[in-house]
Structure 1
Amino acid sequence: MELVISEEAKDYIEKKVPSYQKVVLDFEDGDSPFKINASSCGLDVGFRLVLLQDADESKLDFSNYQSTVNTSMGEVYLKESSKLYLDDNTRLVFDPKYMRLQLKGDNSGTIANSVEIYEA
């Protein structure tokens, strides 16, 4: 699997969070060590980008994040199960009209319409 982060997306992310140690593409399935918001049942596929300031794995359980993908932002960690929702060629792009990040695939089109950024 390949994850390409566009230059516009990278710039947008780094303006919001200028320094980070680890990047996680978290699939919102309710099984995450990041207690950011409540999970809900829905038909939409939800992903969020979690940028860790303190990547001390003794504080957070990363056992769910078995996979890594090399990107222009370094390694991105993700759950093996989340690959089911991604294409072999997936892109994280910036939508300037709505000021949001989107995940898009060569085969699937838009995978996630709005990928939120969180600091942890």
Structure 2
Amino acid sequence: MELIIAKDALSKMKKLLPMQHDFLLHLDDGQGIDFHEHVSCSVNLHFRLLEVKDHHMHPAYDVRIESTIGPVYVKSYSVMYLDPINYIRLGGYGEFQLAGKYAGNIDANLSVTLYE
């Protein structure tokens, strides 16, 4: 499995994040570490790309995906929503998007944040 980050998306990420730590691709489903106070159940998928100090502190994220920014870790059951090749790109309004080679848009509004 692979995650390719477009040059313009990577440039925007570098302005938002220190890019010095580990990364988690968090499926916002209320499992694993709850990064939000509120979790909703809906038909839409929502992912967050989170920069964390050490992925070992988050053992639920046990699958490694190679990416443009180094390894990104996901929960094992999250991979069923991803394609063998995935992309992070910018949408028409500058929002981050997660897309699969075959599935197309997986998350049209991917959150990219530092988690401390």
TM-score, length-normalised on structure 1? 0.86
2:65 is equivalent to residue 66 of structure 1: no
Deviates more, 1:11-20 or 1:39-48: 11-20
Contact 2:3–2:68 at 8 Å: present in 1 too? no
2:80 is equivalent to residue 81 of structure 1: no
Tell me the equivalent position of 2:54.
Answer: 55
**Amino acid in the other structure paired with 1:110:** N
**Amino acid in the other structure paired with 1:87:** D
Fraction of identical pairs, as percent: 26
Alignment: residue pair count: 115
- 1:32 shift after superposition: 2.6
TM-score, length-normalised on structure 2? 0.89
Unaligned runs of 5+ in 1: none
Deviates more, 1:32-41 or 1:106-115: 32-41
2:93 is equivalent to residue 98 of structure 1: yes
**CA RMSD after TM alignment:** 1.6
Unaligned runs of 5+ in 2: none
2:113 is equivalent to residue 114 of structure 1: no
- 1:34 shift after superposition: 4.3
**Amino acid in the other structure paired with 2:36:** I
